Amino acid sequence: MFYAFSVLLAPIAQETGWTRDAIVGAFSLNLLVAGVASAPIGILIDRFGGRVVMSSGSLVGGAILMLMGEVQTVTAFYAEWVVLGVAAAMLLYEPAFAVIYASFESNARKAITALTLLAGFASTVFWPLTQTLVSTLGWRHTLLVLGIINLAICLPLHAVLLPSRGAERAWRDRAQGATSLDAKKSRGLDKIIRTRSFWLLAFAFTANLLAFSALSVHLIPLLQEKGFAPTHAVWLAALVGPMQVTGRLVEFTVGRRFSSRTVGLVALALLPFALCALMFASSSPWMGIAFAVLYGSSNGVMTIIRATMPAETFGREHYAAVNGALAAPVVATRAAGPLVASLIWSASGYDGVLWVLVTVSILSMAMFFMALTARPNQHA
């Protein structure tokens, strides 16, 4: 839905007469709810397991998407996006990573890379697919189709293929009885969230995702403002997906020789260069391609880094809860990103948006570096 929204934005506004800011506001509220729900959902996963939580999310998410196709008022539109935000917190990367860490133990980083390799094609598939559905069926029936896909495909996969709570508990028992570095690192969630490392990582990840969330909704309109035809803008945006996969392949083959810390610094450094390339995309289409390559690679690798750094820094015993707490401001930033970008666009156009995002991306890299040099037990 995250990728589909960029395509749905204009058709919804044209049919309903609602302003762009009002529509983006509903999407932003959805992301805010998802962020707030991340920490409690992480605790639920630690307690009940990923199968129950993610299956419930698929059921609720699919049903709400189908209902959203019938919406007639802004109030109902906002209410449905709120419920969809709770479902998103049960279905996004964070709960999936918790399930992986509970199932694959020392091979978790490889499993996360494998998952994100497949997920990297989400934008490649759903931007063109949504565009085709909207052109053929209209935005209301498009939401109905997306809801059916969720119920027919995602729900059975989560209900059948995810490990049972017993399998996750077996891993946890082994982890608690181990004498590994991970077990020695394990601390309670309340102690972890008081450390300087936790807050520096949270700020770094939050600032980094602010840039990605802002562009995820505005990228196609931005490219059109730069002079790209609508079809060309969609396909250039769709190129981001394969570049995410490429970045993850490089991480899997070459990056595995280095720590997550080193790989994370390199990935964060790519983003400011990608945004600068986008500024000059109108004068050179090759700059647009350079943007897609750098932007997609950075985002693809950072998805893995956000998953692996909590375990490497704070241990695995409370991974779902710690990752949920770290993800709360990160996911909530997705709410601010599109709306802030929309407001800046109203004042100074998309060039103003890009300059702000360049600054934010540099701050993200600086905070990540400070987190690496902070003492693990140093309080904030």
Q: Mind listing the pLDDT tens digit for each residue in 269-300?
A: 999 999 998 888 876 778 888 999 999 999 88
Cβ contacts of 349 within 8 Å, gap of 6 or more: 225
Cβ contacts of 253 within 8 Å, gap of 6 or more: none
State the greatest distance between any 2 C-alpha atoms of the chain, in Å, as a whole number. 62
Distance, in Å, from the CA atom of 333 to the CA atom of 135, rounded to the nearest integer, reads 31
Structure tokens at 230: 């609508």
* Three-state secondary-structure class, residue 318: coil
- Looking at residue 361, what is its pLDDT? 93
Checking if the pLDDT of 178 tops 50, the result is no
Phi, psi of 198 (to 5 degrees): -60, -50
Q: Quickly count: other Cβ atoms within 10 Å of residue 302's Cβ.
A: 26
In whole numbers, what is the pLDDT of the chain averaged over residues?
81
**Is 380 among the domain residues?**
no
CATH of the domain at 239: 1.20.1250.20
Q: What is the mean pLDDT of the segment spanning 213-223? A: 81
- Looking at residue 281, what is its pLDDT? 80
* Three-state secondary-structure class, residue 20: helix
DSSP class of 105: G
- Looking at residue 183, what is its pLDDT? 43
Q: What is the mean pLDDT of the segment spanning 344-370? A: 89
- Looking at residue 184, what is its pLDDT? 42
- Looking at residue 50, what is its pLDDT? 82
* 179 pLDDT tier (thresholds 50, 70, 90): very low
Checking if the pLDDT of 96 tops 80, the result is yes
* 106 pLDDT tier (thresholds 50, 70, 90): low
Total domains present in the chain: 1
Q: Quickly count: other Cβ atoms within 10 Å of residue 230's Cβ.
A: 14
**Is 379 among the domain residues?**
no
- Looking at residue 182, what is its pLDDT? 44
Domain that holds residue 129: 2-373
**Is 131 among the domain residues?**
yes
In the chain, pLDDT over 70 holds for what percent of residues? 86
Question: Is the pTM higher than 0.85?
Answer: no
- Looking at residue 270, what is its pLDDT? 94
The answer to which of 40-54, 116-130, 146-160, 348-362 has the lowest mean pLDDT is: 116-130
- Looking at residue 4, what is its pLDDT? 67
Checking if the pLDDT of 170 tops 60, the result is no
